[in-house]
C-alpha cells in the first residue's frame, strides 16, 4: 500500500535576481525591484512530499526524525540566513525560486528511505513553486 507524506521546513534567505547575460537596464526591466543591488530576503517554506509503502510495524512511510535530520543537515544549515547568490549551486545560475526548488529537489533525492515525489516552495503569500523532477530524474 503506497502512501504519501508531506513535511514542511522553513528558512530565511536573501538573494538578488541578476544575470550577467543582460546589461543593467535589461536586468532592471526583467527582474524589477528584485534586481536591487543590495538584494532582498524571503521567509521560505519548503514542503517535500515523499511516498512509499507503509511499514507494517511502524505504520509509517518513513521515520520523520530521520527525514528531519536529513533536512536540517542538507537544506536548512545550507540555506538558512544565507545569501543564495554566494552559494556554489547558484554560480552561473539566477537565484530564482524555480532554481531553488530544483536544487532542493536534487538534495532530497539523496534521502533514500522514501521516494521523493515533489518539492513545493513558498516564497511569499502570492508566489509558490513546484518541482517534481523530469524524466531523467525519475527513480524506479
CA 129 to the chain's CA centroid: 9
Is 81 in the active site?
A: yes
Is 123 in the active site?
A: yes
29, 40, 66, 81: which is the annotated catalytic residue?
81
34, 89, 98, 117: which is the annotated catalytic residue?
34
Is 62 in the active site?
A: no
42, 62, 103, 123: which is the annotated catalytic residue?
123
Which amino acids are annotated catalytic?
Answer: 34, 81, 123
Amino acid at each position: 500500500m503506497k502512501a504519501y507524506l508531506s513535511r514542511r521546513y522553513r528558512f530565511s534567505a536573501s538573494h538578488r535576481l541578476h544575470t550577467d547575460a543582460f546589461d543593467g537596464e535589461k536586468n532592471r526591466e526583467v527582474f524589477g525591484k528584485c534586481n536591487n543591488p543590495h538584494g532582498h530576503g524571503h521567509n521560505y517554506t519548503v514542503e517535500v512530499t515523499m511516498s512509499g509503502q507503509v511499514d507494517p510495524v511502524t505504520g509509517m512511510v518513513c521515520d520523520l526524525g530521520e527525514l528531519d535530520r536529513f533536512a536540517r543537515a542538507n537544506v536548512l544549515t545550507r540555506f538558512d540566513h544565507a545569501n543564495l547568490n554566494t552559494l556554489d549551486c547558484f554560480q552561473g545560475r539566477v537565484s530564482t525560486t524555480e532554481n531553488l526548488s530544483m536544487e532542493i529537489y536534487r538534495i532530497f533525492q539523496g534521502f533514500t528511505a522514501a521516494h521523493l515525489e515533489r518539492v513545493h516552495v513558498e516564497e511569499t503569500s502570492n508566489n509558490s513553486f513546484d518541482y517534481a523532477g523530469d524524466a531523467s530524474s525519475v527513480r524506479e
